[in-house]
Structure 1
Amino acid sequence: MNTKPESQSLAAWVEETREGIDSGRFPVRAFNDQAVYDLEQERLFSKTWCFLAHESEIPHPGDYVTRYIGNNNLIVARDEHGKIHANLNMCRHRGNVMCKAEMGNASHFRCSYHGWTYKNSGELVGVPYMKEGYEGRLKRKDWGLVRVRVDSYEGLVFGCLDPEAPPLDEYLGGFQFYLDLYLKHGLGGVEVHGPPDHWIADTDWKICTENFAGDGYHTPVAHQWGFHLGYFPSSGSTHSQGWAVSIPGKGHGIGLGHGPNFPPFGGFPDDLVAEMKQSLSPEQVEVFSRTRTAVGSVFPNLSFLMQPFSLEPGEIGVRFVTMRLYHPVGPGRMEMYSWCLVPKNASQEYKKEAYRAYTLAFGQAGTFEQDDFENWTKVTQAAGMTMVRDVDFPYIMGMDSAPDPEFPGPGHAVVPYVNDTNFRNLWSRWADYLAGEV
């Protein structure tokens, strides 16, 4: 684990990093460093919109889950009127954890220390010995749970710790166009299929965000068995076909991979395709019908992947969607949350097959997941070595790439799909937050 060098202040290092990104350089130190981790907690996670839950995880009044923004543990609950709230999971009396379960259903939360009781929307409603102990000095309305801003897009619930931050719609900045690829599978949208897998990994969260912002470069190497055995409906030589799309100045990015002779919307059942064509815009249909694999990240730490997978080599297989959140718990260490999203209106048979494909490929013990985490863990370990303190990585692919004038979607779209453009955009936004410029 590194600490900041005595010869250079952290502020100076951040400014040097910002300058280097423009020329395609990024420091190894960023991926495993105590001082960088602390600065991320202070300046990044305190200001960004971060994913909390999918609405289908808390469908009924009283349903709740506990989640994190940075090092802040939150209760995300649906009240009796159907409204979703997020509150800090801490009693206002002496700071005890209010809710010790990860999920459940409750109309109220009662502190196990002194018994203060709150509605699931956060209001303080019960104080033991109120008359005897406080003699009228305590006003319950002033001592509710600490509230967190919430907003949502197509079932995705986000929270923000900064009351002055721009609204979620502005924060996403047009990336909604691409989120619809994962969220508008039919007129009913999508839902989670079971609770998320989650586990602790000795991996820096930023490595994962970068990979899922469109790293098609690693696929023919890290997952080469998939090509050799015919599980990809393409080959290593054609894998670079497609677009890398970023939202300039926002940090979001997506890789949209094509495939030779790949059928439009391949891997989806016909009835679902018909609904998707109704729920998507003509421009979205044009892009998505040609997309074989879509791997994207919402800055800072939420990612999605959609691709077909088959147990029969050479077959198109079934489409699945995985949504994942990389929650940092220390320098070079994170808690991974991984969901499977399925279309609400799909048959139970399709949902079952999509979940099976997700589990085999990107579940906790999935074949692709194991490939990735082995590499990500080793990268994080190497980033903590003392000799790499002044070492940079090259991010120079596509430095001169011009936007594709024929691309119908928003953002900066370049070809080929194998490109570093999305990553330079990602790191520029990350550095802006660390520099206090956002």
Structure 2
Amino acid sequence: MATEDRDACPHDEGEQPSVGAGNFEISDRAEQIIQRHGEALKDGRLPAKVYNDEEIHQAELRRIFGQNWVFIGHETEIPEPGDYSQRYIGKDPFIFVRGEDDEIRVLFDSCTHHGSKLCRAEQGNSSHFRCPYHGWTFKNTGDLAGIPLKHQAFDNLDPSEWGMSAAPRVENYKGMVFASLAEDGPSLEEYLGDFKWYLDIHLDIAKGGMEVIGEPHRWRADSDWKSGSDNFSADSYHTGVAHRSVFEVGFGSEEISGTAGQETQRHVTHIDSGSTSLRLLKPEDEIYFGYPKEYVDTSKLSDAQADVAAACGAATATVFPNLSFIHLAATNDPDKDLDGFLSLRQWQPAGPGEMEAWSWVLAPAAASDEYKQRAYDVALGTFSPSGNFEQDDFAVWDGIADAAGSVYAEQSNFEMNYQMGLEQASSASIDEDFQGPGVAWDTNLEEGTCRTFHGNWHKAMSGEDVGMSYPEDHL
């Protein structure tokens, strides 16, 4: 971590570094940025520096990714014993694997001998992981199974004490696997809280549930990971500007996609670890995100959830810290009908002002192979590294990180405006009749959803629990 010289040298008598969540020491400067962030957010302002700063990045890895539940993958990616994929929590490498005992684990990708990474392939199927350095071999359950020349070199070593390390906590919510590096804390269900009401709509709407189609797309970008989480929290204000060319050539419906000012949209926040945007059309249309009726099953949903699903053409959401999703009816060809797909997004921190984006495509498990391929193709043409919508977002997000990393932004304490929806800024009002949990606005001309994300960021960076409660003064 880059620090000032005074932090690299012995402290003067009486001077102590700041200590925050997880006993991770950071500089007074970083603590001041975090404190200023919390104070400014109450007025709908945001210090730009948090989007590109080495000390803030290092603190995020420990205070956010080292403490909270982080999405690892979907169980349908590793359906058979021995199936595995490389995954990350923050920047830490893990192996997402289904063991021979059919249990899903999240194993730390490091040999317990001299620490080399064990997994050299992005994904595959294997009964064992063998270290390329000295040959120590581990079962896919993490147990140490073989040591070259053991009786000469390690005759007294107990293999049961030197198995692979694992994420302290791993939990599965309806096929979605999360892990936490913190030994203690709220359970995953407690962490998700009321947001489960919305998450269930997306996971339970299809016959047979949802399954991952193909491999996740991955690409690097000169953008901060928070830009993705912020945007998918429900930034509809950008849709008619950044994505204007998509509508002009007929690749999207403005009514479904939710350009600014439409009364069909609801922004919902104050729901523990997440916030969401729902594009609600006429219920009698029964659009169900564009899925053919034969693939829809609402038997697991409440009447209120089923009503939302029937009227919803598209939705975006973010679960803190870096899991987002978009569920919508779209097309990759103006001459073809709209078809539905669910895309899970993960914004992986790669450095200050840098990230690696991951994108999974999901479709109803009971759908035909033909429909699954169609859903995949539509996702590829809209929200993928080469997708029409995706390219628009990344074309502007890098400018945020570039400006945030400037000397001027730091010296002037440059702040961005996040006031839309606050009383002093706009006329957005709360929809008291909305049946779901949280606070719902009657228009997408508000930024309470984005303030929800940044409020949780501030809580996590201040050492407070995320996903249990949320102060109304940030709404």
Same-fold call, TM cutoff 0.5: yes
TM-score (norm 1): 0.93
C-alpha distance in structure 2 between counterparts of 1:170 and 1:371, whole Å: 35
Aligned: 1:139 with 2:158? yes
Q: Secondary structure at the match of 2:215?
A: coil
C-alpha distance in structure 2 between counterparts of 1:9 and 1:238, whole Å: 40
CA shift in 2, pair 1:251/1:26, >3 Å? farther
Aligned: 1:302 with 2:329? no
- 1:398-417 to 2 correspondences below 5 Å: 398-400=421-423, 403-417=430-444
C-alpha distance in structure 2 between counterparts of 1:108 and 1:29, whole Å: 45
Q: Deviations over 1:257-299 (max 9, x none)?
A: 23479822252212123x2x22322111111212121011111
CA contact (8 A) 2:229 2:318 kept: yes
What's the counterpart of residue 205 of structure 2?
Answer: 185
TM-score (norm 2): 0.86
CA shift in 2, pair 1:33/1:3, >3 Å? farther
1:320 maps to a residue whose letter is F
Q: Deviations over 1:41-95 (max 9, x none)?
A: 1211001111111111100000000100012100111011211011110001100
What's the counterpart of residue 245 of structure 2?
Answer: 225
What's the counterpart of residue 343 of structure 1?
Answer: 364
Give how far 1:313 is off.
4.6
CA shift in 2, pair 1:63/1:391, >3 Å? same
Aligned: 1:252 with 2:252? no
**Larger deviation: 413-422 or 332-341?**
413-422
What's the counterpart of residue 265 of structure 1?
Answer: 287
Give how far 1:238 is off.
5.6
What's the counterpart of residue 422 of structure 1?
Answer: 449
1:423 maps to a residue whose letter is C
Aligned: 1:200 with 2:220? yes
1:10 maps to a residue whose letter is A
CA contact (8 A) 1:2 1:33 kept: no
Q: Secondary structure at the match of 2:34?
A: helix
- 1:283-322 to 2 correspondences below 5 Å: 283-311=304-332, 313=334, 317-322=338-343
* Long gaps (5+) in structure 1: none
**Larger deviation: 230-239 or 196-205?**
230-239
Give how far 1:364 is off.
1.4
Give how far 1:9 is off.
2.2
C-alpha distance in structure 2 between counterparts of 1:405 and 1:124, whole Å: 57
CA contact (8 A) 2:36 2:47 kept: no
CA contact (8 A) 1:361 1:369 kept: yes
**Larger deviation: 258-267 or 7-16?**
258-267
What's the counterpart of residue 382 of structure 1?
Answer: 403
Q: Deviations over 1:112-138 (max 9, x none)?
A: 1111111111111222222222341x2
CA shift in 2, pair 1:346/1:170, >3 Å? same
Aligned residue among 70, 75, 91 for 2:95: 75
C-alpha distance in structure 1 between counterparts of 2:5 and 2:310, whole Å: 50
2:391 maps to a residue whose letter is Q
Give how far 1:421 is off.
0.6
C-alpha distance in structure 1 between counterparts of 2:242 and 2:183, whole Å: 42
CA shift in 2, pair 1:225/1:259, >3 Å? farther
Q: Deviations over 1:359-387 (max 9, x none)?
A: 11112100111111101112211211111
1:224 maps to a residue whose letter is R
* Long gaps (5+) in structure 2: 7-26, 466-475
1:377 maps to a residue whose letter is D
C-alpha distance in structure 2 between counterparts of 1:286 and 1:63, whole Å: 38
CA contact (8 A) 1:251 1:427 kept: no
C-alpha distance in structure 2 between counterparts of 1:78 and 1:190, whole Å: 19
CA contact (8 A) 1:329 1:335 kept: yes
CA shift in 2, pair 1:116/1:407, >3 Å? same
**Larger deviation: 91-100 or 373-382?**
373-382
Q: Secondary structure at the match of 1:173?
A: helix
C-alpha distance in structure 1 between counterparts of 2:233 and 2:278, whole Å: 10
2:456 maps to a residue whose letter is R
Aligned: 1:393 with 2:416? yes
- 1:98-247 to 2 correspondences below 5 Å: 98-136=118-156, 138-148=157-167, 149-234=169-254, 236=259, 239=262, 241-247=264-270
Give how far 1:234 is off.
3.6
Q: Secondary structure at the match of 1:179?
A: helix
CA shift in 2, pair 1:388/1:130, >3 Å? same
CA shift in 2, pair 1:282/1:288, >3 Å? same
1:302 maps to a residue whose letter is L
